[in-house]
Structure 1
Amino acid sequence: MRLISRGAALWLLHCCHIASVLGQTSESALTVVENKGGGGDDEEEEVTIDEDEGDLEVAQPTEEWQTLKPGQAVPAGSHVRLNLQTGQREVRLGEEQLKYWTQEHREKEETQSSFSPDELKRAMKKIKEDQSDTDQQDSVASKYRPLEELKRDLAQLEMLVETDAQIMRRLLEQFNSSNSTTEQRLSILLELEYMVHQVDNAQTLCSMGGLQLILQGLNSSDFRLQESSAFVLGSAAASNPAVQVKAVESGALQTLLTILATTQPLRVKKKVLFAVASLLRHFPYAQRHFLSHGGLQVLSELFRADGGGVLRTRIVTMLNDMISEKELISQAGLDPALDASHQERVRQYSKVSLQGELLEKGWCSLVPQLLESTEHDYREKALRALLAMAPVCADQYRSDGSLLGSLLSLRDQYQEMVQSEMIVGEENGYFAEIVELIDALQVKMK
């Protein structure tokens, strides 16, 4: 038998005691790992726990060694050692756990801890806004088609954008077609009337031969075509000297006077009077032709035949405009340098003996009849025309007892209306203007 020393025996008994104690306290696997690092008196163990941890107090190891409490369990993969100096068990993270902790986990924790609560709120708000913008973009994209797709579709359709000139040419061709019905021609004339309000379009229409088609419409037996054609002609000639010249040269004025002299519906004559007024306004050459072709005689017969006063008012207004513009030309003649063509215009107006014709054709007694109307507007137009004709009609005004009585009666009537206007705060109202016209006419008659 080999003898051992007392110190060695004591060491052996101590190790056996430790193994016995560990075997009684836990059935889990306990591995005693040799201390390769030369740690001296400490021995290191790698512990695995298989039983349910819910019944044990589990330690939370770190990268540093820490003392285990009696009965305390350790997580799987942790390192456990027995400190031979103190006789207590100690635990720390295992190699894999320690690697994770010191690299990935630590970096993640540091990153997360670098955000403040306000920064996290702003980040969450931005996430929601980005999501909302994305949803809105998707919604808009679903409603509209891409530009390239639209370009392809338009190219396939070969869309043609027509100019006004192209549209009018197409309309004239349709109007002149033998297959066009009266309803289609009426629709074409309505479209042309809308377009010729532009000066360039009206002149282009004449250059295309549209004026001849309009004259054909005036000579039609269908009064609807006559009405619409006169409407187009009047709109094209209004304040458009180039069209006025072409229309007069083409004989439009004579055609219009013929329609007025024959039996026609009221609606036709209203549009024809509109066309005549458009041709005559500020155009002394047309006014001279109007007088030479018996225009005043045609209008006087029309005036007498009109019982409602609608045509009478239009006729009187047209005559008043012709007289007034001639007077304005004479007044503007004080400074011929303002208009190089002024002398020519004065010369042309001098050939228009309108006032003499009015006196000769009995207009000095015709116009006062319009004062019998109950319409204030009709009376106003009559008073203005009477004032314009006063230089040649004053003697007849004085001898016309019915005219003097009408003026006195109207003044009393409108004076009362003026008082009513003043009560409501209208010192210079419409009725006061009519009273001034009556007073001015009475002065001319004295």
Structure 2
Amino acid sequence: MGRIPASTGTWIGIILLLIMGMDMARTSAELENKSSSAGLFWSTAKEEGDLVHKAGPADDSTAASEDLDGGFSSLDGMLQWAIGHSDTAKLKETAQDVQRLSPSELKQRQLELKELVEKLKMPSDAQLMQIALDDLNNSSLSLEDRHRALQELLILVEPIDNANDLCKLGGLVVIIRELNHPDTDVRKISAWILGKASQNNPFVQKQVLELGALAKLMKMVKSSSADEAIKAFYAVSALIRGNAAGQELFYTEAGDKMLQGILSSPGVDIRLHRKAVFLVADLAECQLENIDHTEMPFFSNHFFLKSVVDLTASTDLDLQEKALVAIKNLLQLRTTEAVVFKDFCGLGDALEKMKQQLEDLMLEEYHRDYAMDVEGLRKEVELIFQAKLGKGVRVPT
């Protein structure tokens, strides 16, 4: 990455030379007709330190600034930065030194300084990603530097264009390889990167799935490290949400058993419970939106449904809300049976207990608004449940 030189005087000289050269290098005759400031003037005494460039209609600095632009938005931006970090007396002295240069000397200095500015240009996001990937491909890289490279990629892949560029750079292969690293944090951040890159991005989803990362990520969900498991589950969700091929592969890899195992285990980190039940709600919603597709058998599995209903007994309002959304979607599927929800899952009793709990919470000012919102959702679920019970044992297909 380009760095600002330690001496701001260096930058001042560079910028003054480049800007003044645009005016001074035209002809020596023009130089004689210029004011003593040679295209630069001092403003009022109050602002004596502010050096401003006069740009007329025929000024060609715009084109030049586009060529020289690096870490600054424009050459003018570079000038303003240099002025703002300069000493007034030194700035005047530098300007006078520049004015003493002959046109040929100025021309030569311009060429030299242009090369320097090019070297100092800020690299693009793609270049930064390539640098990080090169680091990760270095077998002698320290663990600390490996973490740093991964953290940089985690930030860079946020924009969808950058995520696509990561694919084109061959970065997915590198990141997926890091899922096998012995260090927990390396595996965790790598999974996180894949999740971010895949989020709502069919192009990346397809590449990651074809590289076989889903099965590895699903195994990582069982990690003894809660943070690793959560980031791996995040990546799994990002890969299959809104992706039919990803969902089919997820089911083939026994994703339903993975979900049920998480939902039915009281010792699992509550953050993983939330993510798992949220994914269930999303998968059921996807099924509702694609009514022509055959519904997956696990949606009507009695034990699976009970594991979702049991989450309504949690004291965590966020988890309760997510469980209600999942139950709402599951109730509307063709293959789920109302009597199973009633007799095997105990949904009626669960909804009644939740009602009492929410009424108590509504007495507390801190929880009132949120509890009222959850109660509205609970009532909606209760109405759907009662309507489905009224249709008989099974909703007609």
The TM-score range, normalised by the shorter chain, is 0.5 to 0.7
The separation in 1 between residues aligned to 2:43 and 2:181, in whole angstroms, is 66
Q: Residue by residue, what CA displacement relative to the aligned partner does 1:343-387 show, whole Å, maximum 9, x if unpaired? A: xxx6xxx25x33x22223721110122122111111111111111
Alignment of 1:361-372 (within 5 A): 362-372=303-313
Q: Aligned partner of 1:304: which letter?
A: S
Q: Shift of the alpha carbon at 1:283?
A: 0.5
Q: Shift of the alpha carbon at 1:444?
A: 3.1
Structure 2: where are the runs of 5+ without partners?
1-41, 52-86, 99-108, 387-397
Are residue 357 (structure 1) and residue 267 (structure 2) matched?
no
The separation in 2 between residues aligned to 1:165 and 1:289, in whole angstroms, is 31
The separation in 2 between residues aligned to 1:401 and 1:257, in whole angstroms, is 27
Q: Which residue of 2 aligns with 1:399?
A: 343
Alignment of 1:376-391 (within 5 A): 376-390=317-331, 391=333
Q: Shift of the alpha carbon at 1:138?
A: 4.3
The separation in 2 between residues aligned to 1:419 and 1:137, in whole angstroms, is 62
- 234-243 or 175-184, which deviates more: 175-184
Q: Shift of the alpha carbon at 1:416?
A: 4.5
Alignment of 1:2-401 (within 5 A): 135-136=45-46, 138-140=48-50, 142-143=87-88, 145=91, 155-156=115-116, 158-261=119-222, 263-307=223-267, 308-329=269-290, 350=293, 353-354=295-296, 356-360=297-301, 362-390=303-331, 391=333, 392-400=336-344
The separation in 2 between residues aligned to 1:379 and 1:137, in whole angstroms, is 62
The separation in 2 between residues aligned to 1:240 and 1:300, in whole angstroms, is 27
Change (3 A) 1:302 1:412: closer
Secondary structure of 1:161's aligned partner: coil
Q: Which residue of 2 aligns with 1:30?
A: none
The separation in 1 between residues aligned to 2:338 and 2:237, in whole angstroms, is 26
Q: Which residue of 1 aligns with 2:382?
A: 442
Determine if contact 1:248/1:286 at 8 Å carries over to the other structure.
yes
Q: Residue by residue, what CA displacement relative to the aligned partner does 1:311-357 show, whole Å, maximum 9, x if unpaired? A: 11110001101211332455xxxxxxxxxxxxxxx6xxx25x33x22
Q: Aligned partner of 2:263: which letter?
A: F
Q: Residue by residue, what CA displacement relative to the aligned partner does 1:170-217 show, whole Å, maximum 9, x if unpaired? A: 111111012211211111111101111111111111111111111111
Change (3 A) 1:247 1:415: same
Q: Shift of the alpha carbon at 1:220?
A: 1.6
Which residue, 356, 359, 365 being the options, matches 1:415? 359
Q: Which residue of 1 aligns with 2:69?
A: none
The separation in 2 between residues aligned to 1:224 and 1:133, in whole angstroms, is 56
| Number of residues of Structure 1 aligned to a counterpart in Structure 2 | 289
With the length of structure 2 as denominator, give the TM-score of the two structures: 0.66
Are residue 432 (structure 1) and residue 372 (structure 2) matched?
yes
Structure 1: where are the runs of 5+ without partners?
1-131, 331-345
Q: Which residue of 1 aligns with 2:83?
A: none
Q: Which residue of 2 aligns with 1:129?
A: none
Q: Aligned partner of 1:396: which letter?
A: V
Q: Residue by residue, what CA displacement relative to the aligned partner does 1:238-291 show, whole Å, maximum 9, x if unpaired? A: 111100000111101111112224x43101000001101100111011001100
The separation in 2 between residues aligned to 1:139 and 1:293, in whole angstroms, is 68
Whose radius of gyration is greater, 1 or 2?
A: 1
Q: Aligned partner of 1:404: which letter?
A: G
Determine if contact 2:281/2:329 at 8 Å carries over to the other structure.
yes
Secondary structure of 1:362's aligned partner: helix
The separation in 2 between residues aligned to 1:381 and 1:282, in whole angstroms, is 19
Q: Shift of the alpha carbon at 1:166?
A: 1.4
Q: Aligned partner of 1:136: which letter?
A: K
The separation in 1 between residues aligned to 2:340 and 2:232, in whole angstroms, is 31
With the length of structure 1 as denominator, give the TM-score of the two structures: 0.59
Change (3 A) 1:443 1:136: closer
Percent identity, aligned pairs only, is 24
The separation in 1 between residues aligned to 2:146 and 2:378, in whole angstroms, is 48
The separation in 2 between residues aligned to 1:432 and 1:193, in whole angstroms, is 38
- 154-163 or 265-274, which deviates more: 154-163
Change (3 A) 1:442 1:226: same
Secondary structure of 1:305's aligned partner: coil
Q: Residue by residue, what CA displacement relative to the aligned partner does 1:54-80 show, whole Å, maximum 9, x if unpaired? A: xxxxxxxxxxxxxxxxxxxxxxxxxxx
Change (3 A) 1:365 1:208: same
The separation in 1 between residues aligned to 2:158 and 2:374, in whole angstroms, is 33
Secondary structure of 2:141's aligned partner: coil
Quote the RMSD (CA, aligned, Å): 2.8
Q: Residue by residue, what CA displacement relative to the aligned partner does 1:58-114 show, whole Å, maximum 9, x if unpaired? A: xxxxxxxxxxxxxxxxxxxxxxxxxxxxxxxxxxxxxxxxxxxxxxxxxxxxxxxxx
Q: Shift of the alpha carbon at 1:417?
A: 4.1
The separation in 1 between residues aligned to 2:50 and 2:213, in whole angstroms, is 59
